[in-house]
Amino acid sequence: MTFVGLTSRTERGRLIDKLLDIDRVFSLALILIASAGSLMMFSIAGSSWEPWAANHLIRFGVAFALMVALAVINLRVWAAVAYPLYALSLILLIAVEVVGDVRMGAQRWLDLGPLGSFQPSEIMKLGLVLALGRFYHGLSADRARLSWYLLIPLAMIAAPTLLVAHQPDLGTAILLALTGLTVVVLAGLSWRIIFAGAGLAALAAPAFFLFGLHDYQRQRILTFLNPESDPSGSGYHLLQSKIALGSGGLMGKGYGLGSQSQLNFLPEKQTDFIFATLAEEFGFLGCMAVLLLYCAVVFTSLRTASLAHSHFGRLTAAGVTSTFALYVLINGAMVMGMAPVVGVPMPLLSYGGSVMLTVMIGFGLVQAVRIHRYDEVTGSKSSLI
């Protein structure tokens, strides 16, 4: 046997070992969540795989394969692309302001001609986490805790957040801001700064409500506080969602028997309000089962972050996990009437390719952290596997 043959066999063995190191509980939880979403879409489409259920499964299959492929990439490569990806995302967000497509009163998309269109804000969700992880990886604990260096990550968070909020896309802007701040806190920020920042944010909230929001965004918040004031208009979404949640009871009405979703009273039943559809047909127990799957994903991802030897690996895995958890918390609160309607879907359960792709690419990074948990991110030399 030649030396080349031995080398190839060794490389293949290393690749297989890395693929086998992907977290099985984590992967199973993702598959079950996506399958539950597809089953709900099959139900609300009148027991039909079209137009949502089949596409949802196909998209998840492609995204899952992409996650596996990205998982074997060395963390040094992720670190090397962190700043370029953030810069590219920021340039694309600025391009949206100049030449972006306007749809339903919002300017959020870039048209790629025959390739379709996409939202640069989705790329920024990952670019921001990677860039902050790269920044704090080379920063000492004292500087991360309390120093003028804090102005740099705050500027990195503020720039895309303000651009996305101006589109306007309040839900994504909130996600970017909270995810970025989570990474900053986990990097070791002083508790004095955290409490002071929270106090300043509370003081600035009234002024932001009056002058920083669009009229329709203020109306959404007022409607959230009193949806019965306009039951057939701005309060319709929340009221129908509450009816679906309450009518499901403990066990639900049964698969395919949800009146609010089947009779089209519930708006956006396959996207933003699919959790209400689940509650109506499977009740409290069905919702708890899906939420336990989400908890399994978050717990295993945070465990992966805690096992990483590199600071970059810990922060990026935790940052991706926080984005995913915020999706779940915001959508769940929105559906239950505990937060204004901001257009944030339930990840993997809701229909939609862009959010699913972003989430699964992020999870590819999380699994890369798991596979390369003993590696240190030092130097500039990068290796693919």
- Condensed to tens digits (0 to 9), the pLDDT of residues 276-323 reads 999 999 999 999 999 999 999 999 999 999 999 999 999 999 999 999
Residues 42-74: pLDDT tens digits? 999 888 898 899 999 999 999 999 999 999 999
Show the low-confidence residues of the chain (pLDDT under 50): 1-4, 6-7, 379-385
Whether 204 is in a domain gets the answer yes
DSSP characters over 290-328? HHHHHHHHHHHHHHHHHH-SSHHHHHHHHHHHHHHHHHH
Whether 18 is in a domain gets the answer no
Structure token digits, residue 21: 């190191």
Whether 130 is in a domain gets the answer yes
Q: What is the C-alpha to C-alpha distance for residues 40 and 45, in angstroms, rounded to an integer? A: 9
* Half-sphere exposure (Cβ direction) of 232: Cα atoms closer than 13 Å: 0
pLDDT confidence of residue 219:
75
Whether 230 is in a domain gets the answer yes
Q: Contact at 8 Å (CB) between 83 and 301?
A: no
pLDDT confidence of residue 241:
86
For residue 144, the SS3 value is helix
Whether 26 is in a domain gets the answer no
Whether 155 is in a domain gets the answer yes
Whether 23 is in a domain gets the answer no
Q: What is the C-alpha to C-alpha distance for residues 349 and 338, in angstroms, rounded to an integer? A: 20
Domain around 105: 33-371
pLDDT confidence of residue 229:
67
Identify the helix (H) or strand (E) that includes residue 164: helix 151-166
| Strand order through the sheet with 117-118 | 101-103, 106-111, 117-118
Whether 376 is in a domain gets the answer no
Residue 312, CA distances (Å) to 43, 123, 163, 221, 365 in order: 43, 19, 26, 37, 11
Give Cα 323 to chain centroid, integer Å.
4
The structural domain count of the chain equals 1
Residue 264, CA distances (Å) to 167, 205, 244, 272, 277 in order: 29, 36, 11, 14, 11
For residue 349, the SS3 value is coil
